[in-house]
Chains A and B, each alone.
Chain A
């Protein structure tokens, strides 16, 4: 008599609201997990960047130094520094512990939409409305970028870095992938302005959301479309999309106040998470667990696979 084979657990979805944080920093432009998922960065329209603890939902630090609303942020792999970008055309490198500005980098001609560290946090890459991606060296004291990537014909709305590859999405409707190792630029024409691009966790696919209310999963090497996810509404806002931590689902913000969650393979809508009435501005998926961050107006919500009650009870007892 053999034990029944353990049934493969159905992939869980972050459908339970665990916590709501009122950030008190105006509209939250972007919300990001740090590299290990224990902390949250929220970019506010009141020029501040805030660091929160996920488990307690408490404010840990406020980073102020931007001259206009903060649009994106990223934390380094070792949590020692944070980079953020803002409408004031600057990119700032912060020291996490002291909250001091380590470096303030000017050079973009317009507001900076997105910023990202590379894997070793030796380079910050920032994409701006001026159509350029600038690569800033965190190791040197120079204030000039290492390289200015100006291939985009329009605003660079999103960029991601994975290993030796740089993925940018631009409003000119193209997803560009720069392969540093091969020295090649691959341009995928999507036609509609790109709002957000992502690498899949396995690094084989790219995900791109565009203003034709479609999220597309493209094969990285050939550019063929592997999946198309529709149903949400994305027509005028720069909203985020992402993949779940195990690449099982595709998630995307929507202007109708929901987060749409599709099954990656089947393309069927598996969850329509009601976040609120307004536009879901930003979202971020936990790097390992089933945990989701959403930002709407001035609030950040944390969603999990299981309801929080057990935790709270444990805390109470």
Chain B
């Protein structure tokens, strides 16, 4: 820093960093000891100065040749099997990294050696070398060295020297000073690089002029090499900003300055053009012709003359070796696209196939042209022009491939009656040119018969006559083979030009009505599927694999009958009856995370194994017998009853209806289930007579329970709401419910045994609920989809047939199961109250049910 402040310090100049001003009260800093003063190199390693600032180099750790970690000797292991390689230590092994760098003692990169270094030749050293050469064993040793040594001067320099050229002189013929002075130059022309035309040369010449003798020539002046400055900035080459100093020179400054003589290095014209402020107009003034007809709005002649003048001005700047063209380059003629006729429609019409072989009257040349242009299948000898001239059909025949089966038209996919209708439409609309289109409309009627459709027949005949493509036609009646055969017969006849092809090909065994109908169909089909389109359609082929969209994936192992389980739960026989085991595939990663081996290594299945089932099977829609008789309470209430938002329907809920055979077989085997089924048969036999009311009751039940069942989401929503509404009148409702729950099994048992009572009960209930059922039928269909029979929590005991079966079952089983006896005892105790309660119970139930229905309706509508 240069510090110069105040008048007193004016005389002093300070170099270097000023020391921090010493404060009196601050304790003196301890000087950092030498070994703690550290300098780091660019890689962050410590560097230590050794003597001079850059001279010495560090020698390891505190000048020991070690490191901070100490010296680690290299290990040497050699055995008989593995001989250690001999390790030659090179000097580089002991060098530092810096030594290999550009300025180190052993640079690794290619650098200029002393011989070639641009520095001044070290004469002293050379001399010393010469002396040492003399003292060497072979006296002329340096001679040898000189032979290998690179030539210091090029041959050109040598030659020049022979010619008397000396270093420092210019190259070229000797010149008279005067002659050069007399070189032509304009008034203000200046040569040289620098603008401030220091006429040193001139002045020198001026000086020489006086005493130079006439016949004396001089060597030309040496040209000082051009000093190249590295280019800086992003401007273009040779750019130099406007120099304000030039502006002061005014008009006197040359228009443009040539760096070199125009005769010297040629071509360097505009590149080094240096601009100056003086060349710009800074004043607005009318310098154009006074008529104001200038600029780009000027009339044509002005601009044209302007252009010419520009050309002439350009002549001076033309590069050497180039001349201005005498005549202007020929202008490219651009042809405008043809104007389309106003009625042009951009639709490509495929020309109808022309079978050349049958056009006997046309000239062979035309036939040839048609053949090549159309490329339509002609079963003649293959063309001579090579395989590129063959069309696909010819190639096919060469390869011996089969003919692609005929067109798969959209029409084929339609149902016959739809096709019929479409045909009618098409005939009505698209063939107005055919005179007989009007009768064609009512040709469908059997009464009109063949005469009415004779026009169409004519057309068909015209279309099909003489056409040979027998195998490629569309088979519209594929579903009905005999009809198809007749149709083909008809087509064959058509091709032969048979006039009454239709009548002959029809089956006389058919009824008149059938025949007339078939006649009509044949004619239509033959016109619609005319062979011209077959060439196109043969390029398409049918899908090999049909999309099996008709299948859905369902679980392979289906759950067993829920009723059996239900009844098993009722009698508390958990275990075999309620337990089911499936194969289940955990994810590979899950096993890994759980630290267990994958039980099914190599299986790609995750979850339960699935099989494909028919999508539209009834069983997929009939869900769950399981929900019968028990609540499907989805949403378990939290403390504050919160209503869950309705969930989106889950697609592809699986059917659990179809029970796998294996499962059933399994259950047949065990004795308990046999007992169960036996009991059920028994029960069914007993209930046979009361089947009608039972059925209706069941139906009712189904409707009642329709809120639960298949669609769980709805269930959850509705049932919570229902519970919410019920909970409001908990006071009276709940007790009853509990009572019901407890009293149900004995009642069922009772009823099951004395089925006469059951009859009256269920029928009365049915009656009472009939109108409700009617009401319910008006509910949204959504809830009626399900056929599953279930009752919600709110309808805990609907005495359905199934329930009855189960209760009978229980009766049957209870004799053998000891833990049932207690329950039976309890029941028999309660049975006493039964009859008394029955009537009241019934009434309550009715009332309750109505209330429930109302609640339900309101909750649904809400």
Question: Which residues of A are in contact with B by a Cβ distance under 8 Å?
Answer: 27, 29, 45, 69, 87, 109-111, 118-120, 122-123, 129-131, 135, 137, 139, 146-151, 153-155, 157, 163-164, 171-173, 178-193, 195, 211, 216, 218-219, 222-225, 228, 235-238, 278-279, 281, 297
Contact = CB atoms under 8 A, between A and B. Distances in A.
B126 to A, nearest CB: 73
A178 B578 contact: no
B636 A238 contact: yes
B630 A216 contact: no
A297 B637 contact: no
B217 interface: no
B785 interface: no
A137 B589 contact: yes
Interface stretch (B138-146, B443-451, B562-570): B562-570
A69 B582 CA distance: 36
B647 A157 contact: no
Closest 9 CB pairs of A and B: A183-B599, A223-B579, A238-B636, A185-B584, A225-B574, A224-B575, A147-B587, A189-B578, A189-B565
B347 to A, nearest CB: 51
Interface of B: 559, 562, 565-566, 568-569, 572, 574-576, 578-587, 589-591, 593-600, 606-608, 624, 626, 630-640, 642, 644-645, 647-648, 650, 653, 656, 712, 716, 723, 727, 793
A171 B636 CA distance: 8
Given A164-B596, A186-B581, A297-B639, A191 B608 contact: no
B193 to A, nearest CB: 68
Nearest to B579: A223
6 contacts: A147-B606, A187-B580, A211-B793, A219-B575, A236-B633, A238-B637
Contacts of A130: 647, 650
B590 A192 contact: no
A111 B589 contact: no
Nearest to A186: B581
A23 B716 CA distance: 30
A95 to B, nearest CB: 20
A interface, over-half SS: loop
Contact of A237 (B591, B626, B638): B638
Contacts of A27: 638-640
Contacts of A190: 569, 578
A69 B639 CA distance: 12
A178 B630 contact: no
B586 A178 contact: yes
A225 B572 contact: yes
Contact of A222 (B575, B586, B598): B575
B630 A146 contact: no
A180 B631 contact: no
Contacts of B716: 129, 154-155, 171
Contacts of A183: 583-586, 598-600
Contacts of B656: 153
Contacts of A123: 590, 593-594
A169 B476 CA distance: 59
A80 to B, nearest CB: 17
B607 A147 contact: yes
B465 to A, nearest CB: 66
A301 to B, nearest CB: 15
A187 B723 contact: no
B566 A191 contact: yes
A148 B587 CA distance: 9
B718 to A, nearest CB: 14
Residue of B581, B648, B656, B716 with most chain A CB atoms under a 10 A cut-off: B581
A240 B546 CA distance: 53
B599 A188 contact: no
B608 A185 contact: yes
A87 B635 CA distance: 12
A122 B593 contact: yes
A195 B635 CA distance: 10
